[in-house]
A and B are shown apart, each in its own frame.
Chain A
């Protein structure tokens, strides 16, 4: 054993010396510059049916940009499974892209790292001013009162997609407006042997998006106004329980969905196995799976009672993608130009049409391409009854902790274990204790 000790001592001394030199040389993360004005690297998120589809959508636009400005944009479409990791490592090392897409719910968390260029009035001026953008989209770009960490690029909202044929067969005349109606309709649909509503029980983000909206409808927030986690209030517990009860008690979500995490519920819907789906901007998605637009209807997500609106009548989160500039960029001017290009009215039309999202730019939203009935519902939701997820630095921990709690509750429900107010509260209590205390 002596030799092992000797080995350990030797190794540690040696590596300490090396590590010290490594640390010394490290973290020389300065500000940005304009050293390489002719190239840009752009990380796009996967918005289309596949990464290859995204490249086909984006590349012609990047070519257009190169023609206009002479700046060559190197595109990489990063899969969602890797995107946050890649951003984190880029942040840590200072070695990253110039411009990147971020999920808009990450805005505040990434803002806290200080790695993204703040969009102060001066920077916004360069891309045509802040008031070009829709307010709800701007609400999801960072902590309130701070300069936004990113600029809205695509906006999306949740809606209720329903299969017209199944509804007709079950004798349902119009889509449900309240949850009670949805559950009542569910009984008719189950009687016809179809499953009622899809959910992604093992997908943490999906869980968060839904319980957040239920929280709003119960008048509860997951964070106190000063940004502290508050997961165990009666409202939050009731909200989470109501969502899980859709499976546990009301039996509208099939138990099999508890293990869904890869959008299987969308394909269940597209295949006509399932009557309803709560999803954000699913049109392109459904089309690529062979479900044509006349087969399904689209309606606002149900509320507790009345009609969607603000406050307790919120029925969607503000979903979407933001465009951010990496502070370490060696081509800050070019990056800003690129953001201007991507958020221009013209490009907004092209891109949002391709991805069946709604432009967060006011002028582009007016375009006839976005006036179809389905887009009208989404636009309406975004304008009137959508609310941004908490813009706090701990958002990503919140998604993990609470999303996991909901996933476990779904697993309980699927296994036939009772889901009670106490069990919900216990899970949320645990989630809250896992949040950072500072």
Chain B
């Protein structure tokens, strides 16, 4: 990424340019210091999480120490019985997964419409959808709950207390930002491509799925990751809209601070267990994420 092929550079002396030549020493120094400090800042909580999850309860409720007095894997066994963690985990996976898929599909349709068509109300649509980003969740928590209950009473579709209702809620949380990102990304896919497809006999949807979507995969992945994270961590709505069988992790993890004690080691162990798959997936997809955002957010 740093060196380009644009070859013959006049050999400059002390003030070396940024690229492709080596950066100046002061830059290297400040970079080293800055990145080291930042790494410490980022990693200390992660270290605390890991080390505390391996400590006996007496250790984590006593004075903090950098090194555990003894290692134990008990917290990793106990977490499954203190709280029905496995069920919460499955619930979270279903809710966040379904919300992500639906959100991405809907965002793809909307973004395609906005990116490729001129129609009355286009600005109205984009501005309205985007403006929902600024709604404080607390404003529509109770109304939304009421609405779901009324829809349930009128149609028999159980939205409240069910995973369905939560999926619906979360997917709209990520929708505005997703649409906006994808509009940017689709705009960057050359129109000639889908026009060629149209000429070749594809319908507009054919062009969307055969040309635009494949070309926009990084953007779509980025949007999917964002939608997943939004749904995965939400606390407020989940605490009101779920019951014991549909509770998600974000709320369920609170079960480790019980009437008795705060099981810090179990909290940390459970947090790690539920984070590892997400973080791993996130890191696997991060390549897409950067390229996806490059075109989407930046145009």
Contacts and interface: CB of A to CB of B under 8 A. Distances in A.
Interface of A: 3-4, 6-8, 10-11, 22, 25-26, 28, 46-52, 76-82, 85-86, 89, 92-95, 262-264, 266-267, 270-271, 285, 288-289
Interface string B224-251: 0000000000000001100110000001
A285 B260 CA distance: 6
Contacts of B239: 81-82, 85
Interface stretch (B19-27, B142-150, B203-211): B142-150
Interface string B146-163: 110110111000001100
B255 A51 contact: yes
Given A50-B82, A266-B260, A7 B123 contact: yes
A87 to B, nearest CB: 11
Q: Which 4 residue pairs across A and B have the least CB separation, nearest first?
A: A3-B123, A93-B149, A7-B127, A7-B124
A89 B262 contact: no
Interface of B: 58, 61, 81-84, 121, 123-125, 127-128, 131, 142, 145-147, 149-150, 152-154, 160-161, 239-240, 243-244, 251, 254-255, 257-262
B145 A89 contact: yes
B120 to A, nearest CB: 10
A271 B56 CA distance: 14
B244 A52 contact: no
Contacts of A22: 146-147, 150
25 contacts: A7-B124, A7-B127, A7-B131, A8-B128, A22-B146, A25-B154, A46-B259, A47-B259, A49-B258, A50-B82, A51-B258, A52-B83, A76-B243, A79-B254, A79-B255, A81-B254, A85-B239, A89-B145, A92-B145, A93-B146, A94-B149, A264-B261, A264-B262, A267-B261, A288-B260
A46 B82 CA distance: 13
Contact of B244 (A77, A92, A271): A77
Nearest to B149: A93
Given A11-B128, A85-B240, A93-B160, A285 B259 contact: yes
Contact of B61 (A4, A46, A267, A285): A267
Contacts of B262: 262-264, 267
A48 B258 CA distance: 9
Contacts of A80: 259
A403 B37 CA distance: 40
Nearest to B254: A81
A82 B259 contact: no
A26 B149 CA distance: 9
Contacts of B128: 7-8, 10-11
A89 B153 contact: no
A82 B127 contact: no
A26 B82 CA distance: 39
A57 B128 CA distance: 51
A50 B243 CA distance: 16
Given A8-B128, A25-B153, A263-B261, 20 more contacts: A3-B123, A6-B123, A6-B124, A7-B123, A7-B131, A10-B121, A10-B128, A11-B131, A49-B259, A51-B83, A52-B84, A79-B254, A86-B240, A93-B145, A94-B149, A95-B160, A263-B259, A264-B61, A266-B260, A271-B61
Contact of B260 (A11, A52, A95, A289): A289
A76 B125 CA distance: 42
A28 B150 CA distance: 9
A81 B256 CA distance: 12
A167 to B, nearest CB: 23
A52 B123 contact: no
Nearest to A75: B244
Contacts of B149: 93-95
A267 B244 contact: no
A49 B82 CA distance: 9
B131 to A, nearest CB: 7
Given A26-B146, A52-B84, A46 B244 contact: no
A22 B84 CA distance: 36
Contacts of B124: 3, 6-7, 10
A82 B251 contact: yes
Contacts of A46: 258-259
A49 to B, nearest CB: 5
Contacts of A271: 58, 61
Contacts of A78: 244
Given A28-B153, A51-B83, A52-B82, A263 B145 contact: no
A151 to B, nearest CB: 22
A270 B239 CA distance: 31
B259 A89 contact: no
A52 B81 contact: yes
Nearest to B147: A22
A85 B237 CA distance: 11
